[in-house]
Amino acid sequence: MVNSEQKIFYGWIIVWSFLVISTVVYGLTQSFGVFFKLLGTSFGLTRAETSAIVSTQSIFGTIIAFVAGRTLDKFGPRIIVLIIGASMGLALMLTSQTNASWQLFITYSLFSCVVGANYTTMAGTVSRWFHRKRGLALGIAATGMGFGAIFIVPLSAWLISVSGWRTAYMILGATAWIFVIPLSRLLRKNPGDLGLEPDGSISTTPQKETSVAEVNSGQVTGLTLREASRTRSFWFLTGISLLNAFCYNMLIIHIVPHATDIKVPEMQAATIISVLGASNIAGRLLIGRASDAIGRREVAMGCALLLFASILFLVWAGHLYMLYIFAMVFGFCIGGVDTTMTALTGDIFGMRYIGSIIGATQTAFGIGMILGPLFGGFIFDRMGNYSLAFGTGAMAMLVITALIAMVRRKNIGFDHQSPGGHL
């Protein structure tokens, strides 16, 4: 139990822990673009085949994300994050020892299939700890995606330049063990575990499953996954998650190869992801806060329209400074759709089964992660450039804008009288 004199709400420790964990997890994931051409050359793979390495792991990731949601609701985040850290570290070390492309597919699948579990766990846990400041808290926790791009991606490029890709993967694997595994011990499932309510209020009511304090705080109330799936908004959110992942993963995997194709030096090309990451941090913080104050849908729609414009700009970007402009706008806005839609999911469906519901939408995210890199690689192999692939990504952002407009924020079904009601 925590006494009433505690000055720091433990929810913020949860947030900062996930920030560091996500920095490592997503930094290692985003580094694949730096390894992309080297792996293709080493194993004699086309760009579509190299992209399939990421897509193959995403197949497993879609399953893991769904399972992680149910595991989170039942057991909490500790065990999930422990497995994430251990699996990623082991997989990267095994990847460094591969001698055939089929081995690479297996080891990298073990590495990346747990990424979906990380976001599901982070989003579900942080959502339980915050209500009034949910957008801000989710934004801070998710800035790890940006910090990973700033620190881990350049580190990966540097390690490759001084020691080769095999040693680089060995060192990066150890990094996952050093940071992720210890931080898993700080995580807690619910504020009620420490005698607290969301946002830091001290609970004066015994923590029972149906206590008034819990009902009012949103810890118990909420639709089941089955009830949520009967609403139109659930499927709109699922579609948004799929298309967002399609665009993001296609661009994050292919932006460095694209930059080197137009004669940008390898190390400078890697800095594009760092610029994207820095702007992503600013975007998640500002957009998360704005969504709490202004409204989730309005902010997310603005982000989606800016993403549409930025990706169209990328089609014609032929110089490094233009790629930086794209990275700043894209990085700032891409997390905005992600963060606001995650917060909106909790607003609409409640907290009781939030892990399972986010896990289901993250399964769709995983499908997008599969399709995006494959599509980009396929188009390049057929056309010799990424113009059509990037243009398709821009059109997907217009579809996302329309889907966001159709999502209703109204909190429904918590009395279970009309769980299948329309939104």
CATH of the domain at 233: 1.20.1250.20
What per-residue confidence (pLDDT) applies to 421? 34
- State the pTM of this model: 0.70
| Residue 202 domain-assigned (yes or no) | no
pLDDT at 61: 67
In the structure, what pLDDT confidence band is assigned to residue 217 with cuts at 50, 70 and 90? very low
d(CA 145, CA 123): 13
Structural domain includes residue 417: no
Tokens describing residue 333: 């806005």
Amino acid at 385: N
Determine, yes or no, domain membership for 240.
Answer: yes
Measured distance CA(306)–CA(411) in Å, rounded: 28
Confidence of residue 364 (pLDDT cuts 50, 70, 90): confident
pLDDT number for residue 72: 84
The pLDDT of residue 302 is 92
Q: What is the pLDDT of residues 194-216, one digit of tens each?
A: 888 888 765 444 443 333 344 34
The tally of CA atoms less than 13 A away on the side-chain side of residue 325 is 15
**Residue 71 is assigned to a structural domain of this protein:** yes
Asked if the model's pLDDT at residue 16 lies above 80, the reply is yes
Residue 208 inside a domain? The answer is no
Question: Which residue range is the domain that position 106 belongs to?
Answer: 10-190+217-406
Is 420 within a domain? Answer: no
Average pLDDT over residues 382-404: 94
For tokens 């930094």, the residue is 27
* 92 in any annotated domain: yes
Q: How many CA atoms lie within 13 A of 25 on its CB side?
A: 32
- The SS3 assignment for 302 reads helix
Asked whether residue 246 is domain-assigned, the answer is: yes
What is the residue-wise DSSP string for 19-68? HHHHHHHHHHHHTHHHHHHHHHHHHT--HHHHHHHHHHHHHHHHHHHHHH
pLDDT at 219 over 70: no
Which one has a higher pLDDT value, 293 or 170?
170
In this predicted structure, what is the pLDDT of residue 58? 64
Total number of domains in the chain: 1
